[in-house]
């Protein structure tokens, strides 16, 4: 084994870890009366096999999973600890195997599976009752194991190193784009994986927004509270050409990805000064964050946490009408799960009744966006445990004024 292979081996998922994940899904398959799940999304493939190579992973409710790999079989066998890894035999043979396992009710990732692929499967197995397995998969993935938390903590530590350098970057930058480029370079030098993964259809994100002043109020198609003008209509997000002005809050809301696992963090910076009004708004964000974290108790429904925060703070500050977005950019959530994707379960939002449980990792992100002024806020990732919450992300929550 050469040095590069030795380094890569440190990132491999152990067999025991994969078996635990598979067994948790199998328990839900049996509970729902499904005869198996056919997994093909790269994130879910990685989670249940340890490799993201293109193919189909068949997970029956009792027996060992079988992975049919289209490309690359060699790499899949090196990276995955699964015993049943075979060349892709073609769709007809694959469907015959599913039918042989009495696959009359089969789960699919219907939120991400292309309609063309679904129609091909249905043509081969017209009698099969195809069900959406996505809620089961997301439920399994939302609680992180100690193995996964190791990568999340590593990502958080490297992330903090970059944030500690941002004040110096602001001094050297003229525009949002200048600052964003310096941040991105620092992230990549610390082995940020580059690619961000978001599960929701038609949602893309590039590192995260680095915006100043009124840029943060720009309308955006992205399902997040921070607005951004960006550089072009073709990609209306992220840093733009706006110059960094003294007294404007600078929101840095960037993600760090390490071996697939993401941490999400926001801090507010300012050049030379920041008004008392902005500091008051930031103080309110901290109080909302702290009150939210205090309510993150195992067994408590996510929607209940959200409702309590709204009841406590709604209408009690002139900033409240601008909470979690500017005008039509508002989002109806206060926090979201993070892990292999940036929009994992659970979600602190109305209607999301899933109870909190130990092992969940949530990004809590209270922010305000007064129209015509800008945006301010913060964001941290917290781990829920039986003993309380643990803050995963590091770096002081206070506004950093760069002189």
Distance CA 199, CA 160 (A): 25
Asked if the model's pLDDT at residue 177 lies above 80, the reply is yes
Domain of 134? 3-141
Cβ neighbours around 91 below 10 Å, total: 16
Where does 80-133 have alpha helices with state H?
Answer: 91-100, 115-124
Mean pLDDT confidence for 191-215: 94
Is 212 found in the same domain as 136?
no
Mean pLDDT confidence for 233-250: 95
Is 355 found in the same domain as 231?
yes
Mean pLDDT confidence for 174-188: 98
> How many alpha carbons fall within 13 Å on the CB side of residue 162?
32
Report pLDDT digits (tens) over 79-131: 999 999 999 999 999 999 888 766 689 999 999 999 999 999 999 999 999 99
What is the structure's pLDDT at 103?
65
Asked whether the beta carbons of 136 and 37 are under 8 A apart, the reply is yes
Is 150 found in the same domain as 75?
no
Distance CA 137, CA 22 (A): 10
Is 376 found in the same domain as 318?
yes
Asked whether the beta carbons of 44 and 25 are under 8 A apart, the reply is no
Query: What is the tally of structural domains in the chain?
Result: 2
Question: Tell me, what CATH number does 67's domain have?
Answer: 3.40.350.10
What is the structure's pLDDT at 90?
94
Give the dihedral sign, CA 288/310/226/46.
Answer: positive
> Which of 92, 124, 141 finishes a domain?
141
Question: Tell me, what CATH number does 361's domain have?
Answer: 3.90.230.10
- pLDDT-derived band of residue 205, with 50, 70 and 90 as boundaries? confident
What is the structure's pLDDT at 251?
98
Is 171 found in the same domain as 92?
no
Is 42 found in the same domain as 178?
no
What is the structure's pLDDT at 206?
85
Of 31, 11, 37, 101, residue with least CA distance to 45: 37
Is 258 found in the same domain as 184?
yes
Is 135 found in the same domain as 152?
no
**Residue that wins the pLDDT comparison between 184 and 96:** 184
What burial class does residue 37 get, using C-beta atoms within 10 Å of its C-beta: 0-12 exposed, 13-18 middle, 19+ buried? buried
Asked if the model's pLDDT at residue 34 lies above 90, the reply is yes
> Which of 109, 141, 173 finishes a domain?
141
Is 159 found in the same domain as 270?
yes
- pLDDT-derived band of residue 9, with 50, 70 and 90 as boundaries? confident
pTM surpassing 0.85?
A: yes
């Amino acid at each position: 084994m050469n040095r590069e292979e030795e380094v890569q081996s440190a990132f491999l998922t152990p067999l025991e870890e994969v078996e635990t994940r598979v067994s948790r899904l199998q328990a839900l398959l049996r509970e729902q009366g499904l005869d198996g799940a056919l997994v093909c999304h790269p994130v879910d493939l990685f989670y249940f096999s340890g490799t993201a190579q293109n193919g189909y992973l068949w997970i029956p409710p009792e027996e060992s999973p079988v992975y049919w790999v289209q490309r690359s079989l060699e790499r899949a066998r090196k990276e995955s600890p699964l015993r049943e890894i075979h060349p892709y035999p073609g769709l007809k043979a694959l469907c015959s195997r599913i039918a042989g396992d009495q696959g009359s009710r089969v789960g699919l990732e219907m939120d991400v599976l292309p309609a063309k692929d679904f129609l091909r499967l249905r043509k081969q197995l017209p009698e099969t009752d195809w069900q959406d397995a996505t809620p089961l998969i997301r439920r399994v993935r939302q609680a992180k194991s100690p193995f996964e938390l190791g990568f999340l903590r590593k990502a958080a530590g490297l992330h903090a190193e970059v944030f500690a350098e941002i004040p110096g970057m602001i001094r050297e930058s003229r525009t949002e784009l200048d600052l964003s480029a310096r941040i991105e370079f620092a992230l990549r030098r610390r082995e940020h994986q580059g690619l961000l993964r978001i599960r929701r259809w038609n949602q893309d994100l590039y590192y995260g927004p680095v915006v100043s002043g009124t840029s943060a109020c720009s309308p955006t198609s992205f399902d997040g509270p921070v607005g951004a003008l960006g550089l072009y209509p073709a990609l209306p997000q992220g840093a733009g050409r706006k110059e960094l002005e003294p007294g404007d809050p600078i929101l840095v809301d960037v993600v760090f990805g390490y071996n697939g696992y993401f941490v999400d963090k926001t801090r507010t910076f300012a050049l030379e000064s920041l008004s008392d009004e902005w500091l008051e708004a930031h103080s309110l964000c901290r109080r909302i964050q702290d009150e939210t974290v205090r309510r993150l108790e195992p067994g408590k429904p996510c929607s209940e946490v959200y409702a309590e925060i709204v009841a406590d703070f709604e209408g009690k500050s002139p900033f409240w009408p601008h909470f979690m977005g500017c005008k039509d950019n508002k989002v109806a959530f206060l926090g979201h799960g993070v892990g292999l994707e940036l929009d994992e379960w659970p979600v602190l939002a109305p209607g999301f009744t899933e109870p909190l449980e130990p092992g969940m990792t949530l990004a809590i992100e209270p922010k305000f966006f007064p129209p015509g002024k800008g945006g301010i806020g913060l964001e941290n990732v917290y781990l829920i445990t039986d003993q309380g919450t643990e803050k995963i992300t590091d770096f002081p929550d206070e506004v950093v004024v760069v002189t």
